[in-house]
Every structure is written in structure tokens, then in C-alpha cells.
Amino acid sequence: MKNIKYWSLTCAISFFILFSAYYSGTHAAEFAQLGFPEYFRIELTIAKIIGAVVLLFPQVPVRIKEWVYVAFSINLFSAFLAKLNTGSPVIGIIEPLTVLALLILSAWYLRKNLQPN
């Protein structure tokens, strides 16, 4: 059962991150409003795609997945701060924190799956 919870959360997070990569890749003006340079948008888009795909492959070592979780956590918290400081609507400010909570839960299930029953 905990495997189903882990994969459900991981798939949802990967979907959100891939959608976020698509959005930041195609909406340069909105990304620029947050105060980031153009080259960072491109780097972030590529990194999000790679990280989301890494999470979906069971063959990837757990240590690498943990680092992807760390990188996504930093990314989501940075998105929260950027949106908070640029006057985004409340739903836009809460969104990264909600995904961050799901990300933490997914990482917890990853660790829990490694423990023997």
C-alpha cells in the first residue's frame, strides 16, 4: 500500500514539475516579471525536465532521487519567495508551498519504502 502512495505522489509531483517546465519554457514574459534573467529560465526548464524524469524511473539509485528532492525543494521555496515579493495573487503564493508539502510527503514515503517491514 505504501508503494502505491509513493508512486501516486511521485507521479503527481513529476507531472506538476513537467507542467511548470513547459510553462516557464513558453511564457518568458511571466518568468521575467519575477526578476530572473533569461538564461536562468532556460537552465531551470532543462533541470526540471531531467529531475522529473529521474523521479519516474525505479532503476535510479535512491541517493540521486534524494538530491532531486532537495533541488525541487529549493526550487519550490524559491518560487514561493519570488511570488511573495512580486505581489502575485494569494493562490500563486500558496501553490509552491502546497507542492512542496506533497514533495516532502513523497520523499518520506521513499525512505519508508526502503525500511524492512
Residue 34 has a pLDDT of 78
The arithmetic mean of pLDDT across residues 103-113, rounded, is 90
Q: How many domains does the chain have?
A: 1
- CA dist 35 and 53 (Å) reads 27
102: buried, middle or exposed (CB in 10 Å: 19+, 13-18, 0-12)? middle
Residue 2 has a pLDDT of 64
pLDDT score of 117 more than 70? no
Mean pLDDT for the chain overall: 90
**Which set of grid coordinates corresponds to residue 8?**
501516486
Range of the domain at 95: 2-114
Q: Please state at what angle helix 90-114 crosses helix 2-26, rounded to 10 degrees.
A: 140
DSSP 8-state code for residue 76: H
pLDDT score of 114 more than 80? no
- CA dist 81 and 93 (Å) reads 8
Give residue-wise pLDDT tens across range 41-59. Answer: 999 999 999 999 999 999 9
